[in-house]
Amino acid sequence: MKYLAPSFALYLSFLLDGLLVAPTNALRIHGQRRPRSELASREQNVYGLLGRRAPMQGDLTNTGDLTYYTNISLGTPPTQFSVLIDTGSSDLTVAGNVPGASESGKTANVNYAIGQVAGPIEYAQFEWEGFTISKQAYIKDTSGDQKDGKGIIGLGPNSGSQVQDEISGAQGNTVLNNIFRTNTSTPNFITVILGRSDDPTDRFPGDFTVGSILDGYTNVSSMPKLPVSEVATGSGQHWQTQLDVNGTLGPDGQPVAVQSVVKGAGNKLQAAFDTGFSLPQVPKAMADAFYGRVPGAQFQNITGVGEIYTLPCETELNITFVLRLDKTDDLGNPICLGAFQPIMKTAQSSSFDMLLGMAFLRNTYMLVNFGDFVEGSTKKTNDPFIQLLPTTELGEAHNDFVSTRLNGVDDTANFHLLPASVLPPSDENTQEDNESFSEKIHPYLPYIIAVSSALGALLIGSIVWCILGSRKKKYQKLHEPAPVGHANAQQPPPFHSYQPQRRY
């Protein structure tokens, strides 16, 4: 793939408002902050606040607890559900009863990086901004993690569907797969852009389209086509692509050297795009390179967030991926979070290295072409690909940063990174770790076989020799005297010779 130009350095910030005028055929989506009253009851969920898909709750109110929803209708008569758009999963799940729904007799569960949904698979009529599917399969979530009337609409590949694993064929298809198959005039692609604002009381709009491109963003079609990387197991398939070598630049402008955890990928990292995950998840070594040399930066374990860097809020970093979320600590002091968080264990996968979530996607207009990932595609159908159009202008972002964070006084020239020696040692996997054990020993296989054969032959020979040697030994008959037990015939035996005597 081609690397996105340095101008696409994605200087991430909440300072810019992305209010877009959408065409009439676009689906308007909204990002919402949960009020404190909705968060207080479940503060003990340590990753609830900045996790993915599961309800957003936790201690740090108004700090990235942001989700993007659209409205759908299910059932007869139609009942409205507010569903989170999620490119990181493939299934439709809703909580609450759907009128006129029919049972499939099957159940399914979707395990997310944080949390899961589970329940029976049902069928119902589905309506979404002019698209109608007479019989759409969905999971009725009975886990209790979602409120009635809420849900998740997975926008991932059909091959990643848990429903499809239980119900193969057309009846188990995802929403988008059904839309593309039943509306043959609709091009097989989606686009998404996530808005942002610096006002925690505002609604955060964004736009989502099926088969059309937003006015003013048609240049996305001329951006490099990034091939979607296919994984070995269908259930692990995401909208993911491979970055180029040295595709991530740190605050010093130098490439961040990180080895991939994906087998055979080397230092070409695999990135999955996920609208359902707030803080992007990156390798620990990458987060260290981004924030570890910033004076005053601390790597902390924050309740509701997990392990993450906190930064002085007046620090501006011009790096490939960076975002700061304003918040105060328990003492009322302002702190900012380095939004690219070391990937949590529950989010780790053997098929990708990082999840580029909302904080990344707010700076891009993303187009995903499903290609031959749509069930029933012919051999002539192109492979799936992703296109990204940068939407953040660095100069404007810098000016807004100076105005908002530095009270109009630009003293960023006085900022200097600490020496690289302050960074913690990397514990990332090396290139050799990407290879399986069989791959590592393959070059030595002829030698291993030869040595094993020689040892085997030697062992067999030893066994045969022992058997033959044992057969040559003969015991004295009982009526014969035992032999003298001394080797030297010239010397008297140490004991008198035993002469058997017959007794009557």
Greatest C-alpha distance within the chain: 129
DSSP H helices in 267-418: 284-291, 358-361, 394-405
Angle at 30 between CA 26 and CA 33, to 5 degrees: 170
Q: Is 48 exposed, middle or buried (0-12, 13-18, 19+ CB in 10 A)?
A: buried
Distance CA 352, CA 262 (A): 6
Domains of the chain (ranges plus CATH)? 55-191 (2.40.70.10), 219-428 (2.40.70.10)
Look up tokens 């990708």; give the residue.
Answer: 352
Fill in the amino acid letter for 139: I
Please say whether the beta carbons of 13 and 324 come within 8 A: yes
Going by C-alpha positions, the residue among 334, 292, 330 that lies closest to residue 313 is 334
Residues with Cβ within 8 Å of residue 491, at least 6 apart in sequence: none
Assigned token pair, 245 = 């070598």
Look up tokens 């810098």; give the residue.
Answer: 398
Report the SS3 class of residue 159.
helix
Going by C-alpha positions, the residue among 245, 236, 283, 240 that lies closest to residue 266 is 245
Assigned token pair, 150 = 């809420």
Going by the DSSP 8-state scheme, the letter that residue 360 receives in this structure is H
Angle at 354 between CA 352 and CA 357, to 5 degrees: 125
Whole-structure pTM value: 0.67
Q: Is 425 exposed, middle or buried (0-12, 13-18, 19+ CB in 10 A)?
A: exposed
Cis-peptide into 77, omega within 30 deg: yes
How would DSSP label each residue in 67-105? EEEEEEEETTTTEEEEEEEETT---EEE-S--TT-EEEE
pLDDT tens-place values along the chain, 504 residues long: 333 333 333 333 333 232 233 333 455 565 554 433 332 332 333 222 333 333 222 221 223 446 778 899 999 999 999 998 889 899 999 999 999 999 999 999 998 767 789 999 999 999 998 899 999 999 999 988 888 999 999 999 888 899 999 998 899 999 999 999 888 888 899 999 887 655 434 455 678 888 899 888 999 999 989 899 887 665 568 888 888 777 788 888 888 888 888 887 777 888 889 888 878 888 999 999 989 998 999 999 988 788 999 888 887 776 664 323 344 455 556 657 666 777 877 777 777 888 788 888 888 899 999 987 777 666 667 889 999 998 877 777 777 667 766 767 777 777 767 777 777 776 554 444 444 444 455 555 566 666 677 777 777 777 766 666 655 555 444 344 444 444 444 444 443 433 333 333
Please say whether the beta carbons of 146 and 160 come within 8 A: no
Q: What residues pair up with 387 in beta bridges, in sequence order? A: 367
Buried b (16+ CB within 10 A) or exposed e, 14-44: bbbebebebeeebbebebbbbeeeebeeebe
DSSP H helices in 292-378: 358-361
Residues 329-384 pLDDT 10s: 555 566 576 667 778 777 777 778 887 888 888 888 999 999 877 776 666 678 89
Between strands 270-273 and 354-356, the pairing is parallel
Distance CA 294, CA 122 (A): 52
Between strands 341-342 and 281-282, the pairing is parallel
Assigned token pair, 286 = 């990458």
Assigned token pair, 15 = 């300072």
Phi and psi at 60, nearest 5°, equal -90, 80
